[in-house]
A and B are shown apart, each in its own frame.
Chain A
């Protein structure tokens, strides 16, 4: 790696640390910087409620943003490389559609098994479980298909088909569902980072580490894949095994993030492009850490904007990621005049 790359990383890490602090200090409730620092270093605060807000709300939210941003960005990169398609993102396999289906059946189909679920219908864990089951269902279907198929592109189409299929079931469910349940589903689909407790952040972190670990293990094969499947084969890469590992890593990352934070759009698709525009490299040894860092920074930034300092209102995170992310990608593409892929 040359010195330029190292400079990028150093700047990136400082930017990351800065924005973590910014994210934790800013929110609807105004808390002075000094108090934020005291809370983070374990001191006593002048207001008891401030301590709770920082340690039990903002800190888990910032961690969720880091995990979700980096995880989704990496999933996007993996999918773009696997399919050699710049339009691919973490959800091309139909993971978010699967999760949506699970949640929709829980929230809106709940009329049929509401009595059986009782209080659990309100539980966050039920949502996480339903989303995970939905994602898993789609994942197994895609994996089964990928074992039989030779052409990687066909998996892309199958993923899209699953998305349409589940989308149709969700719309039938929403059509017959009472307003209150529909509302809960819509709010889930907006995505949110702020309602995870420490335990949930811990579980999400576990999945994150697993997913990232598998992805790192695949880096060498991914580089070979960029040159084409045949070339990769000649280098001794087992295309099928590699394909399955990449799909598993993406599913672990994108599936767990969707389960806990809802379907967060855009980041996964855009961040790899953003990174490639700034760091012109095809080496996954460089791309993977850059994408992780950039994803986390972008997500923290979006979350900070969505919780505008001093503003009591929150804008859904999904709206922010697209409203602020899309123009950046467009601007970068216009400036370079070509897509680096």
Chain B
């Protein structure tokens, strides 16, 4: 009996080794795409298929996901392991965040979008036209996607995102044989890293060269603007956020927003802080640190000075308030009220940076007009 067990064990061991060898042989031929700024994904191209790995599908995720993107009739070696298989180029897609829409438009594939939760938030003009023509199905809200409608569309892939890995609707969709891939562009802290996720969509449509070219254009514009901002020595002190009741919410210094302020030649009041999410500070702390800040950006959802005052009289005491140096993106909206910044900023960090440079150092960009930000009314 013992011998038999031993035999099985050795056989199992050898077959396992064979499998490993075969896999290694296949994977050795892969071509890893150059991803310079983004930390969250990796793309390796092979003959007839690609392997896309999403490393951090959500913050503190314990596992990564590997997606097999296979061209029609491509031969996939059996040894390849993956979580989802998607046939490319994708012909019918459902995405779940407005930040995905500009990538689709840049790649010229907005017509493949068949469904979206909360259509009202979308502002991208070509997609908006498609919605008005009734070509895109409303799918409810993202937390509670209408699964029946989604199943009826039968998309080739659903590009989802998850805050913590729990989304029952996705499980149900997957059970019905529709692959769900996680896009975690929103966890990237580097402005260019977020924009680089266009390559993720490029892979889905077999349009990696186009995606790379589009990204490089943005990258070049960003780096040029950053260099321009460096040319000035004087740095205004910058405050951000606003109070909910008596707590002031601000981005961390190492966050996406923090990077922008630094690259635009501003000195963020909490530039030295590090962490994930946003900091909640007491009023008195922010008052002490930020009352003399020269410029104040993104105060919550406020779009006018009178709104700020109605919410709290304390705001009056800030220098940026007195000098009317408060700028926000909340008031710049698209045709159906979606805030442009939320939709386009991740894809166009170059424009965000130029906006901030124009605000911090107007003399550097005399002819530029703001894309996302607006002075408070």
Contacts and interface: CB of A to CB of B under 8 A. Distances in A.
User: Do chains A and B interact in one complex?
Assistant: yes
Interface of A: 27-29, 49, 52-53, 56-58, 61, 119-120, 122-125, 175-176, 180, 183-184, 187-188, 190, 192-195, 197, 262, 307, 312-314
Contact of A57 (B287, B304, B306, B311): B287
A27 B246 CA distance: 13
B283 A124 contact: no
B287 A187 contact: no
Give the 10 A-B residue pairs with the shortest CB-CB distance, closest first. Answer: A194-B246, A123-B310, A28-B285, A192-B245, A122-B307, A187-B244, A28-B282, A195-B246, A312-B285, A53-B284
Contacts of A176: 141
B126 interface: no
Contacts, number: 84
B310 A53 contact: no
Interface string B254-280: 000000000000000000000000011
Contact of A187 (B245, B279, B282, B283): B245
Interface of B: 141, 144, 243-247, 279-285, 287-288, 291, 301-302, 304, 306-308, 310-314, 317
Contact of B301 (A27, A49, A52, A180): A180
Nearest to A316: B247
B281 A313 contact: yes
21 contacts: A27-B282, A27-B284, A28-B285, A29-B285, A29-B287, A49-B291, A52-B317, A53-B287, A57-B284, A119-B304, A123-B310, A124-B311, A176-B141, A187-B244, A192-B246, A195-B245, A195-B246, A307-B282, A312-B282, A313-B280, A314-B247
Contact of A194 (B283, B304, B310): B283
Nearest to B306: A119
A119 B282 contact: no
A56 B314 contact: yes
A28 B311 contact: no
Given A124-B310, A124-B312, A314 B301 contact: no
Contacts of A52: 287, 317
A313 B301 CA distance: 22
A193 B310 contact: no
A312 B281 contact: yes
Given A58-B284, A195-B312, 7 more contacts: A28-B284, A29-B285, A53-B287, A119-B306, A122-B307, A122-B308, A187-B244
A62 B317 CA distance: 21
A314 B246 contact: yes
A183 B314 contact: no
A61 B283 CA distance: 12
Given A183-B244, A262-B245, A313-B282, A29 B288 contact: yes
A188 B245 contact: yes
B246 A193 contact: yes
A119 B310 contact: yes
Contacts of B141: 175-176
B281 A29 contact: no
B307 A119 contact: yes
Nearest to A306: B282
Nearest to B121: A178
Contacts of A307: 282
A49 B314 contact: no
A124 B245 CA distance: 9
Contacts of A197: 312-313
A49 B288 contact: yes
Contact of A122 (B246, B288, B302, B313): B302
A176 B117 CA distance: 12
Contacts of A184: 244
A119 B306 CA distance: 7
Nearest to B243: A195
Contacts of B284: 27-29, 53, 57-58
